[in-house]
Structure 1
């Protein structure tokens, strides 16, 4: 099983609204949670579970820079990269008035030499 605790991720091939978005994941057993911000996300959170194969199932909620509150669900499937980092293929579904669905890629941000995986404040930059 992949240990997601402390791993930081950013979108691959992000559009302008996602550019600069960074997520920090936390894990205890199969319980997963995280927070993200940057780009058009003022603040977002996610809560879910991690399967034995490293796949993630979670719900998310985010407040966008325009004040919109968006929630949905996501299934992320991991791929281990040659350098040991994780790439996640996300299949997401947004709920509510602006319901939508799609797919995206997140890639683990490499550890910094001086500070390990970095602090949550670094992840918000």
Structure 2
């Protein structure tokens, strides 16, 4: 699945808690800034392969002041016509955790 992520916006599946990210892409480099809900500010940066799979490093500061860092791999899929990213993530440090999240594209 060839995907250009430039200008696309994503949020947690079914609306989540208000965090919204707008992606930018130049060649295989993809990055985004995000905020909303429990996140004061966050960033992701990484690469996109020929199948549209994203490999990111991320950092964010929560409303509580906690600083979170980690990495994720996101696989694109179509669900009812909507682009959805299946995000497998890992956090480092004192907030270490792993999980799976789903991000849906916000229609323009």
Same fold by TM-score greater than 0.5: yes
Runs of 4 or more consecutive aligned structure 1 residues displaced over 3 Å after TM superposition: none
Residues 108-119 of structure 1 correspond to what in structure 2 (within 5 A)? 108-111=105-108
**5+ long unaligned stretches in structure 2:** none
Q: Which residue of 2 aligns with 1:8?
A: 9
Deviation at residue 81 of structure 1 after TM alignment: 3.7
Task: Give the TM-score of the pair, scaled to structure 2.
Answer: 0.94
**5+ long unaligned stretches in structure 1:** 112-125
Task: Provide the secondary structure at the position in 2 that maps to 1:97.
Answer: helix
RMSD: 1.2
For 1:28-50, what per-residue CA distance to the aligned partner results, in whole angstroms no more than 9, with x for missing partners? 01000001101100000000000
- Separation of aligned partners in 2, 1:89 and 1:82: 15
Task: Give the TM-score of the pair, scaled to structure 1.
Answer: 0.82
- Separation of aligned partners in 1, 2:42 and 2:102: 17
Q: Which residue of 2 aligns with 1:68?
A: 66
- Separation of aligned partners in 2, 1:82 and 1:65: 34
Indicate yes or no: 2:49 matched with 1:51.
Answer: yes
Q: How many residues align?
A: 107
Indicate yes or no: 2:83 matched with 1:86.
Answer: yes
The structure with more radius of gyration:
1
Residues 114-125 of structure 1 correspond to what in structure 2 (within 5 A)? none
1 or 2, which has the higher strand percentage? 2
Task: Provide the secondary structure at the position in 2 that maps to 1:3.
Answer: coil
